[in-house]
Amino acid sequence: MTPVLAVVAAYLIGSIPFGFLLVKWKTGADVRAAGSGNIGATNVLRTTGRAAGIATLLLDIAKGYCAVWLAAYLTENKIEWMSAAAIAVMAGHAFPVFLRFHGGKAVASFVGAFLYLTPLALAAVTIVFFAAVAYSRYISLGSILGAGTFPLAVWLIEKPPLAVVAAACVSGGFIIYRHRENIARIRAGTEHLFSFSAKRRQQHPDEDAAGDWRMRRL
């Protein structure tokens, strides 16, 4: 029963909606009613500010890491159950029991989980992520490309047991699936461009058009 409890615990940890709680605490508002309606760090940053966005990101990464660490502790480092916990914590973030199963895209919890399992492969796809965001200013595109290349990076760099490769494939595919609406907006040229500063977006609206032009070339 202990391995099963480890996976259930991972799901419950993933279900803790840090973005929702931080915004509610700071402003009294429901972050799901603003911006993209997502509870993740990007929407918190966009709707509530830099500090809340960064705090959400770090806490969501931490819950991914802690979920896999706990599974390792409870199962005596059985890699199959640690891999299952990585998927479970992402499922918890995307379908949190505390928010009637309507959550985020699970990118940060993915980062935390695989920071424990496959740190070198994660570092490699982080480069892909930042390169894509720097070029396009679409965080969603960076997440999609990072998730898509992650299974290959795991297989080539880490050479882990099959369970980890399978978890990487499932996790990467899941993130791409959760970004299906973003993919549609990218294709339409209506996806939000990333900026730390709302003032900067207002002062440089021409940059939005430049970003759309870059994406039409991809």
116 compared with 191, residue with greater pLDDT: 116
Nearest Cα neighbor of 56 from 121, 105, 120 is 105
Q: How many domains does the chain have?
A: 1
Query: What whole-number distance in Å separates Cα of residue 132 and Cα of residue 136?
Result: 6
Nearest to 164 by CA among 179, 175, 153: 153
CA–CA dist 59, 6 (Å, integer): 20
Residue 61 token pair: 């990464």
* Residue span of the structural domain in which 75 resides: 2-217
- Reported pTM: 0.86
Q: What is the pLDDT of residues 118-153, one digit of tens each?
A: 999 999 999 999 999 999 889 899 999 999 999 999
Is the torsion defined by CA of 197, 201, 202, 207 positive or negative?
positive
51 CB-near residues (< 8 Å, 6+ apart): none
Mean pLDDT, range 61-81, rounded to an integer? 97
Tokens of 188: 């339409």
Both tokens of 189, joined, read 């040229």
Residue count of the chain, please give it: 218
Is the pLDDT reported for residue 100 higher than 50?
A: yes
Give the Cα separation of 109 and 39 in Å (integer). Answer: 12
Phi-psi region of 177 (alpha: psi -120 to 50; beta: other; left: phi over 0): alpha
Instruction: Give CB contacts under 8 A, 24+ apart, made by 25-29.
Output: 26/52
Contacts of 190 (CB under 8 A, 6+ apart): none
Dist CA 122 CA 2 (whole Å): 28
DSSP 192: P
Query: Per-residue pLDDT for 211 more than 60?
Result: no
Going by pLDDT thresholds of 50, 70 and 90, the confidence category of residue 72 is: very high
**Reduced DSSP (H G I as helix, E B as strand, rest coil) percent helix, strand, coil of the chain, to 5:** 80, 0, 20
Tokens of 178: 């959760």
pLDDT digit string (tens) for 23-54? 999 999 999 888 778 899 989 988 889 999 99
pLDDT higher than 50, residue 217: no
